[in-house]
Amino acid sequence: MDSVIVSQARDEAQSDVARIGLAVEQHFQEHGRYPESLDAIAGYLGNVVPVDPFTGGGCIYRPTSTGFGLYSVGQNQIDDGGVHDLRAGDIAWRGEKKRPTKMALKSN
């Protein structure tokens, strides 16, 4: 691939993975669980989930019991299991369930 095209695809993948990741987090905030698939968040993204610019297919999304993994396969077009390597490997976003925090109330 031409270096300009690779650079543009990398930038697009970073942006799209971030947009999708934020939509997954929004779904979690509204429903108390991560979606089973990215189809469930299409409404947050204008009814179209962006594709991986390196493959033309969907980004890889793996919900887990503690959060989720989301990634583009990146420039090497090999699924490296979500190992983030901006130059050659996957372009990844990790979501993790947060424990609610207690806010201290001030007495007036």
pTM value?
Answer: 0.84
Name the phi and psi angles at 96, rounded to 5.
Answer: -135, 135
Tens-place pLDDT, residues 55-99: 999 999 999 988 999 999 999 999 999 988 877 789 999 888 765
Q: Which of 57, 56, 49 is nearest to 21 (CA)?
A: 49
Residue with tokens 């698939």: 37
Cα separation, 67 vs 11, whole angstroms: 25
Q: Which of the four pLDDT bands, split at 50, 70 and 90, describes residue 29?
A: very high
